[in-house]
Every structure is written in structure tokens, then in C-alpha cells.
Amino acid sequence: MALANFFDKAAASAADVLRDFDREAFRDRLQAQVIGVAFDGSAARSREGQATLDLAVRCLARLYPRLVLVPLGDTPARFGRALRELALGINPALEMDLDPGLVTLCLTVGRMRAGAPVEVFTGSDRWIAKVSCREPVGCGRSSNPFGAGAAACLGAANIFRAVFGDQLKKGALDENGRLSLLNFATGDAAKNGSLDVGLDLTSSSLVGLGAIGNAAVWALARLPGARGAPFMVEPEPVDLSNLQRYVLALQRHVGQTKLNLAHEAFAGGDIKPRLIHATWAEFVQGLGHAPLDRVAAALDSAHDRVQVQAALPRRVFNAWTQTGDLGVSRHDFLEGPCLACLYLPTGATLHQDELIRQALGLDAEQRVRLREMLVRGDAVGPAFTEEVAGVLGLAPDALAPFAGLPLHAFYREAICGGVVLRLGGKPAGVEAPLVFQSALAGLMLAAELVADVAGTRRQPLPTKSVLDVTRPLPQRLGVALRRAERADGVRCLCEDRDFVDTYRVRYGRTPLDERLASEEILE
Ligand SMILES: [Zn+2]
């Protein structure tokens, strides 16, 4: 068995996107594949090629049980050793010593072909990721991590589509795809440019070091000569199921704080992040509600995002993954929709007790009891696990190993972690993106932040850039939005006089400044 010990979570994430999902068939299909990662000397010697290979291995080793590194031409053997160590750090049970002749599907970086039955060629040129199922695409020599990282994600997405295409709506491979993380456009519209060396990130904050935050850190830690002391805010530890899609997380990190992943990623570099072990609300309070210049939000709930916007940062960037798409949005509080506009509740949102009640399939009157359990935080106990097992149609002792956990952890491990799915039950409403989806969202978030700090963009982009990597690259990613307005007349923060005045005073934005700013944009 070479499947990872967090395979349950991987199965839960695949169940989210694949039609007619069957756990046994999913596992069999994974085990029938031998995935190759091939690279020639040009890839091994270039910074972009190295970055693509690093992130590709970080993605592929989390799902496929058989992964073979295939050096091509005269590639130095030592290069493959680091990748091998990395892969085994993610899944120590991986089968990696198979004959390269057995490779069924290959992700190939560089200018050479590996000659596998199906080959996905991927590479980059600065801000632009390239992917093709036809011919090698080469890799650039810059130290820009964004095209290179996105190339790894698009390559892994194509490998996934090559395996499971018949269970996806549009599972074809990219014939000749190009995606720019500078202007978030594809094909001929993809723009490129140089990346300033030595950017200072001190005035920036990253909130959330989950799956999206992990990939953002991966990219920021590779910026050439970047420096400064950005805030990074995250209260939680790494648990085993996180390994399914946290690109920085290895087995040895389980139980450590998520902040430690960032600490390790930036070690030895000139970026010295200020790591804040707290929730966003605690962090903002601790700062005494001081101005925040740029905040990149890598969060997973509408509630948390509205809280970020309510703290009134000067600029906010936001990334998300959800069933069907992923993307990044950008917000100025005075112009266009703010982050809260995108997440203004249009109906009653579910509180955690209700969310858990529905996922566990318990009766409506159990909600109060669940709320009390959440507040108390005691172990759920064997009577509870037996009751839930009964409701979900499982054997009475099936969930017994989780009896020692408090309710929120029981929900995360047994339900969101995919254990219930493995046991044949059907939890409702559990979303878990695939690793290459979260990773691409994180890279887009970091690219957005860096392009803004560097002032690289000539023209402002629409509010959102949206992409679905379970199908070939689209023609357009941009979505222009207006401010949120609800039928019942409830308005967003950005329409609230007190919030607007506070923002203006805090950032010295008088109405005149605003006019000048918008004239500059029009030039
Ligand atoms: Zn708003």
C-alpha cells in the first residue's frame, strides 16, 4: 500500500469534483498509474525549472501512490535526490523506485521528451505559465516564481484530468495553454514583464496559513532579494488531513503550528516575517486598530473575510477555492466593491453548530446540545460517536477512535477528514479542494500582492479573476462587479458613512485625492 496516510482527505476532495464517485474505483485508478516527473539539464539548471519541479512534486506526491523521477539527457543525478527526499517527506509510503519504462503519465519540464504514453509538458517564462499536451515548452531563466509555480499547478491539473477526465464535465487536456499571473489573462492576451528585485514587504500582512496561505508563502519565499517584515497571522496547528493540500507541510510538521511552516520557508532569507499566533480579531485588537497598508486574505469563511474588511486595511486582496472555481479579488474601500460586498450574506448563513448538525445528520432539536458541546470543548465521548455512527449508517464502533476529541476536532477529523466517506457514510456539505486548486489560488494571491507592491501593473484589473482548472484554460478570467445591494435594503460596510469617514481619515483620502487617483487611472 503506497497510498498516503491522509488518503481519506484526498478521496473526500475528489468526491467533490468527480461524477459518479466511488471510493474503491478512485483508489484503483490511482494505483494503476505510474506518474513520472521528467526534467532535462535545462530545467535542472534554471531557477524557474527548479521551482516548477519543486512545486509539482509537492502537488503530485500528495495524491498518487507511485511517483517516478525521470532525469533526461545529462541531468546531474544530485538534482533528483532533493526532489525524492521531498516526496518521501510528504508520503513515506510512496513507490518511487519503479522502472521509468513503466510510467503511464508524465509531467515533463524542459526541452526534451520523456516518451511516456501520455505526456504533459509544462514550464514558464517569468509571469507566464505554459502547459501543453503536444510539445515541450521549455523554462525561463529568471527568478520570478509565479509563472513557474502556476506551471506546476496547471501541469498537476492536467495530470488529474488525464486520469479522471471521463468523470469531469470538460476533462480535456490543455493543447497549448498560457496563463499570466501578471494580468491574469490567457493565450495571446497573457502579459509579461520583469519583476523588481529587492521588494520590501514590511507594510503587507498575510492572514491565514491554510492551503492557500501555504502556496502564497511558497512563492513569497522565492522572490529575488525581497526583504521586510510582513505580518503573518494564524492561530491553528497542522493536522494530518492538512497534508492533502498544504504544499509546505511534510509528515514531520503534523502537530506543529502552521506559523512554523512559514518560519521554515523564510529561514535564511531577507524576509523576516512577524509571526502572529492569533485570530485576525485578536491581531487587530493587539495593534490597537492601527492602519494596515495591504492585507492578503487566505481565509475560508465569509465571516472571517468580512472581519478583515471591517478592520479597514488600505488595500485588500482575497483568494478562494470552492466547488467549480478558484480565484483572486482586489479591493479598494472607496472605489468599486469592497471585500465584504462579495461576501455579504444573501440569506441566513449557517452557524457552526448548525453546519455540524447537518453534516452529522442529527435532528434539528440537537442543535442546542451541539452548541453547548462546542462551547464546553470536552471530549465527545463514546456514547456520542456511537449515536452519530448509527445516524450515518456505520458500524457502532466505527467512530470510536475519535471519542477523545472535542466536537470541533471530531467534525474536522472524522467528517471533513474523509473518514466517514471511507467507512461508506455520506457526510453533507463538506468541501475540500484538490491540492493544485488551493496552490494556484495561493500563487494568484501572492502575485496580486507583489504586483501591487511593485506597482507593476499599467492598468487596473476587474474586481475578480476566476478560473476552473478541472477544464482547459478559459479565454477570459476577469469579472467586473458592482457594489453589493440587497433587495431588503441592507447595505455593505462600504456604503456606511462611519466606515467611509474612518477610512478617509486613516489614509488621508479626501474626496479630492480620490478624484486625482481616478484621473491617474484613466490616463
Ligand atoms: Zn462593500
SS3 231: strand
How confident is the model over 260-279, as a mean pLDDT? 97
CA 479 to ligand 1 center in whole angstroms: 16
How confident is the model over 339-348, as a mean pLDDT? 76
pLDDT by residue (tens digit) across 241-257?
A: 999 999 999 999 999 99
Cβ within 8 Å of residue 287, ≥6 positions away: none
CA 332 to ligand 1 center in whole angstroms: 10
At residue 390, the pLDDT reads 84
At residue 511, the pLDDT reads 64
pLDDT greater than 80 at residue 107: yes
How confident is the model over 427-448, as a mean pLDDT? 87
CA 513 to ligand 1 center in whole angstroms: 20
SS3 351: coil
Lowest mean pLDDT among 261-275, 296-310, 478-492: 478-492
pLDDT greater than 60 at residue 349: no
At residue 79, the pLDDT reads 86
| Three-state secondary structure string covering 81-109 | HHHHHHHHHHCCCCECCCCHHHCCEEEEE
At residue 505, the pLDDT reads 93
Cβ within 8 Å of residue 469, ≥6 positions away: 153, 154, 157, 326, 436, 437, 440
CA 136 to ligand 1 center in whole angstroms: 45
How confident is the model over 39-53, as a mean pLDDT? 97
Identify the residue with better confidence: 211 or 521: 211
pLDDT greater than 80 at residue 150: yes
CA 206 to ligand 1 center in whole angstroms: 21
CA 482 to ligand 1 center in whole angstroms: 9
Nearest residue to 273 (alpha-carbon basis) of 196, 197, 213:
213
Strand residues in 137-236 grouped as ranges (E): 177-180, 204-207, 231-233
At residue 425, the pLDDT reads 60
At residue 262, the pLDDT reads 98
How confident is the model over 167-196, as a mean pLDDT? 95
- Tell me what the pLDDT averaged over the chain comes to: 90
pTM (2 d.p.): 0.86
Q: How many residues does the chain have?
A: 523
Cβ within 8 Å of residue 455, ≥6 positions away: none
CA 454 to ligand 1 center in whole angstroms: 26
CA 487 to ligand 1 center in whole angstroms: 15
At residue 416, the pLDDT reads 74
Nearest residue to 457 (alpha-carbon basis) of 193, 253, 90:
193
How confident is the model over 56-61, as a mean pLDDT? 98
Lowest mean pLDDT among 76-85, 168-177, 428-437: 428-437
Give the span between the Cα atoms of 22 and 15, in whole angstroms: 8
pLDDT by residue (tens digit) across 300-333?
A: 888 899 999 999 999 999 999 988 799 999 999 9
Any idea what DSSP says for residue 166?
G
CA 491 to ligand 1 center in whole angstroms: 8
Percent of the chain surpassing pLDDT 90: 69
CA 231 to ligand 1 center in whole angstroms: 24
pLDDT by residue (tens digit) across 384-431?
A: 988 888 887 788 888 888 899 888 888 877 777 767 667 666 555 556
How sure is the predictor about 521, in pLDDT bands with cuts at 50, 70 and 90?
very low
CA 329 to ligand 1 center in whole angstroms: 13
How confident is the model over 48-62, as a mean pLDDT? 98
How confident is the model over 285-311, as a mean pLDDT? 93
Cβ within 8 Å of residue 328, ≥6 positions away: 184, 317, 318, 319, 441, 444, 445, 447, 448, 464, 465
CA 489 to ligand 1 center in whole angstroms: 13
At residue 322, the pLDDT reads 87
Give the span between the Cα atoms of 59 and 435, in whole angstroms: 6
CA 295 to ligand 1 center in whole angstroms: 16
Identify the residue with better confidence: 511 or 186: 186
Give the span between the Cα atoms of 81 and 89, in whole angstroms: 12
What's the distance, Cα to Cα, between the start and end of the chain in Å? 61
SS3 377: coil
pLDDT greater than 60 at residue 299: yes
CA 258 to ligand 1 center in whole angstroms: 30
pLDDT greater than 70 at residue 523: no
CA 492 to ligand 1 center in whole angstroms: 4
Q: Which of 5-9, 365-369, 375-379 is predicted most confidently? A: 5-9
pLDDT by residue (tens digit) across 200-225?
A: 999 999 999 999 999 999 999 999 89
CA 304 to ligand 1 center in whole angstroms: 15
